Chains A and B, each alone.
Chain A
Amino acid sequence: MKRMISFTVLLAAFLLFAFFNTGKTTQSSQADSKTQKIYKIGILQLMTHPALDQIHAGVLAGLKQEGFVSGRNLKIDYENAQGDQSNLQTMSSKFANEKDDMTIGIATPAAQALAKAANGQTPVILAGITDPVGGGLIKSNARPGANITGTSGESPLKSQLDLIKQILPKAKTLGIVYTTSDHGGSYNAKKMAAIAKAAGYQVKLYTISTTNDMQTIAEKMVSQVQAVYAPQDNGVASAMKTLVNVANQSKVAVFPAVDTMVQAGGLATLSVNQFTLGKESGIIAGRVLKGEKTSTYPLTFVTRGQMAINTSEAKILGITLPNSVVKQAQTKGEIYK
């Protein structure tokens, strides 16, 4: 009991002291940071995941292109919450407390935690956030407002649909599968469904709640559709092999949203490279450090996709890929065999 009382008293005394002193320390160190030439950047990533890691590597490359190199004029503080969202706030308040000049958020909850901690003051750069307006991060894509801007990781859905049309002109029913708990996945899936419907397709949406559901859902799906679209979705990406195995048995082609999913057995895609996406964010971060205003810096969409095709998959399905597609993949894209 004694220990408990002394601990409580200690806490209360500290809080009382902190209450009357926090304001002052902020001001003095803000003055310091103006004379500093080494910029401090906090990067917060939601979890370890191939696509997110690629974005992270891209951010560093983009910063480098703008002349900011870690160890020379840049100090990078990198935190990864490992999917545990209760860590995000501690980590982002650590950045805020260390007076980082800027923070960069990879994945939506990470960016939201940073936005909250920055409280409208230090700039927050979004790296590949699918739907920043819907996530309440910015006011509009053209004029983000406040202190947040960056890149959106939205897939070039229209071009991807055109690719499906080009390869399978006869397909009329399109199945789209996504994970209910993945914000980006459901956003992309619903948007693609709308675009495909407008283009005259009959669209059927299927959802999984964990990767374990893929086998059952995929079996049902391939019996009802002529082609499958797999959006940028963490759950679907993880279960890509299962989806492809099922689809191959019914000779239904799977068109994924990213190149790594083509590698895992998808037929073809026109995708935004995650590294390029991160690099674009890094460049924006560099420009903001040089003095550009975040509030008027429009959100950047990386729209130019890279062709990626899987030739062995085409053989399995008995599909001959159009020459124009193959050529595009040969010159500027990826061919997986």
Chain B
Amino acid sequence: MSMIVSSIGQGLLWGILGIALFLTFRILNFPDMTVEGSFPLGAASAVTLITHGVDPLLASLAAFVVGALAGGITGLLYTKGKIPILLAGILVMTACLSINLRIMGSANVSLLGKKTIFSPLAGLPKYFDAIFIGLTIIVVVTLVIIYFLQSELGQAFIVTGDNPTMAQSIGIRTDRMTNMGLMVSNGLIAFGGAVIAQNNGYADINMGIGIIVIALASIIIGEVVFGELTMNQRLLAITLGSIIYRFVLLIVLQLGFSTNDLNLISAILLAICLMAPWLNSLLHLDKVIKKGVTVHD
């Protein structure tokens, strides 16, 4: 049972990344590789600050700022430097490796015995610290983003992603919108990195590898499992998708699959989810499901 609790907790924490990536991947419509650099960047900044005696919450917020800076650089390279977005992201991601080493001073910094944002909840049943912290962060982040997307600025941001030419013609500064999206997204990713590093108990230089797949998985699984949704509901679906992804990993582990194949299995799972619309039209799953439901009703 506590394994399931642990998975839900992990799902909530990693859900932050899904929501952050949603802003660039789905709304602005481009793949942002910066995240593989800003995630360990946030972890490195927060963990180093904490080991130097800074309050863990303050350190996590500082990670947001540092991550936003990284996103801002990608944005400038893309909008002003006219570097293709994929390349701009990869450049910043690569640069982050050296910067993270400078920040941490070594490839791995431990937090064992240090106070983290999870410490005050140590008295709760096992893994509930991650549940409570994760839930709080997810609720706050989701509400702020919902509020933002409903504002005038947020609407302009959405239009930029939908149709940049039209956005420009009605006077929206699309470059600014793109920069802002990248900054907020990477700030959140770095914040997520800071929180996850505190939950893991260490920051490691290589912890960013494969992060984009995890974040994408939450978005895509959420979309496939929960179907047609409004924008606000989609944000909630990402967190649930992130939890489902953790469940899948748990099931794979419990079934005794060789862990050597774990990456292959998550890739196959994602591919199936991405192919879902096509599979659906091919097999008419929709009708099958609807029939099944009506019969049971």
Contacts and interface: CB of A to CB of B under 8 A. Distances in A.
B1 A25 contact: yes
A19 B125 contact: yes
Given A14-B4, A80-B259, A87-B262, A186 B209 contact: no
A90 B250 contact: yes
Interface string B107-121: 111111100000000
A181 B259 contact: no
A91 interface: yes
Interface in A57-113: 79-91, 93-94, 96-97, 108-109, 112-113
A94 B125 CA distance: 16
A33 to B, nearest CB: 15
B200 A112 contact: yes
Given A25-B1, A82-B263, A85-B206, A181 B225 contact: no
A94 B110 CA distance: 21
Interface in A28-47: none
A137 B110 contact: yes
Given A4-B226, A19-B128, A181-B97, A88 B2 contact: no
Contact of A18 (B5, B205, B246): B5
A81 B112 contact: no
A82 B2 contact: no
A21 B4 CA distance: 13
A4 B240 contact: yes
Contact of A90 (B10, B97, B227): B10
State the majority secondary structure of interface residues on A.
helix
Contacts of A81: 259
A116 interface: yes
Nearest to B105: A186
Interface in B196-218: 199-202, 204-207, 209-211, 214
Interface in A181-218: 181-183, 186-187, 209
Contact of B205 (A1, A48, A79, A181): A181
Contact of A23 (B125, B199, B240, B254): B125
A283 interface: no
22 contacts: A1-B233, A3-B227, A7-B225, A7-B240, A81-B259, A84-B210, A85-B207, A86-B210, A88-B200, A90-B6, A90-B7, A90-B253, A93-B2, A97-B6, A109-B202, A112-B110, A116-B112, A116-B200, A136-B111, A136-B112, A137-B110, A181-B101
Given A19-B128, A85-B207, A136-B109, 8 more contacts: A4-B240, A7-B226, A14-B8, A18-B2, A86-B14, A93-B2, A134-B106, A181-B205
